[in-house]
Amino acid sequence: MTRRGAALEVAVLGLLHEAPMHGYELRKQVNVLLGWGRVLSYGTLYPCLKGLGKAGYIVADEAEDPEGRGRRAKIVYKLTAEGKEHFAQALEDSGPSAWDDETFGVRFAFFARTDAASRVRILEGRRSRMEERLDNVRKAGQRKRDRVDSYTLELQRHGLESVEREVKWLTELIDRERSGGYPDEQDNTNNTGITTTEK
């Protein structure tokens, strides 16, 4: 499975973990969650849903037409117990695939369901990857500065500033996690992301 395919799978499972959804709503929510540069097509979403269904992670139920107009029933997708377990296992992965460009945003969106140690590992891995990228961009810029036009230099400067901002943001997140995380997360969830009332 491609990295983008794996990210889509985690996104779908995570959204269905919150509530059952039909295809249109699921596509809309995945687009918001993933923030990819292009809109997710049904031609990409439905094969993913089919694969998740075949694996036993989701089930598709036909919803009744509430107005009784004889319209075609909408198919509502629901997470199975196996799907919940598979999603939890996916969130435990804090290796290199969790901090690459295709996956990091999805994993970050479900940080409330990820344990603190994994969050720190993912953030540190992402920061290390971005610092490496920053170093490469700076070196490449110094070598090519005399051979490129003003527009290319401007694009390089924009890329450099974007990576510098992300490194700064990641450092702030890591510091916050090491000092106890977000106060509302400590008060309302345990390490599995399950809401609790006891303190």
pLDDT at 108: 92
Which is more confidently placed, 199 or 63? 63
Residue pair 184/178 in contact by the 8 Å Cβ criterion: no
Query: Where is 22: in which H helix or E strand?
Result: strand 21-22
Residue pair 88/26 in contact by the 8 Å Cβ criterion: no
- The neighbour count for residue 57, using CB atoms within 10 Å, is 22
CB-based contacts of 118: which residues, under 8 Å, 6+ apart?
A: 91, 92, 94
Which residue reads 């992965």 in tokens?
93
Which is more confidently placed, 69 or 158? 158
- Asked whether residue 83 falls in the same domain as residue 127, the answer is no
Instruction: State pLDDT tens for residues 113-133.
Output: 998 999 999 999 999 999 999
pTM, rounded to two decimals: 0.76
**Within-domain flag for 148:** yes
- Asked whether residue 75 falls in the same domain as residue 125, the answer is no
**Within-domain flag for 169:** yes
pLDDT at 2: 60
- Asked whether residue 75 falls in the same domain as residue 33, the answer is yes
Domain end call among 36, 60, 92: 92
d(CA 91, CA 87): 6
Please say if the pLDDT value at position 99 is more than 70. Answer: yes
**Within-domain flag for 145:** yes
- Asked whether residue 166 falls in the same domain as residue 130, the answer is yes
**Within-domain flag for 193:** no
- Asked whether residue 87 falls in the same domain as residue 120, the answer is no
**Within-domain flag for 197:** no
- Determine the structural domain holding residue 153 and report its residue range: 116-188
- Which CATH number characterizes residue 45's domain? 1.10.10.10
Domain end call among 30, 59, 92: 92
Number of domains in the chain: 2
Instruction: State pLDDT tens for residues 138-190.
Output: 887 676 666 778 888 888 889 899 999 999 999 999 999 999 877 665 444 44
**Within-domain flag for 165:** yes
Q: Which amino acid is residue 126, in one-letter code?
A: R
- Asked whether residue 13 falls in the same domain as residue 66, the answer is yes
- Asked whether residue 127 falls in the same domain as residue 84, the answer is no
**Within-domain flag for 28:** yes
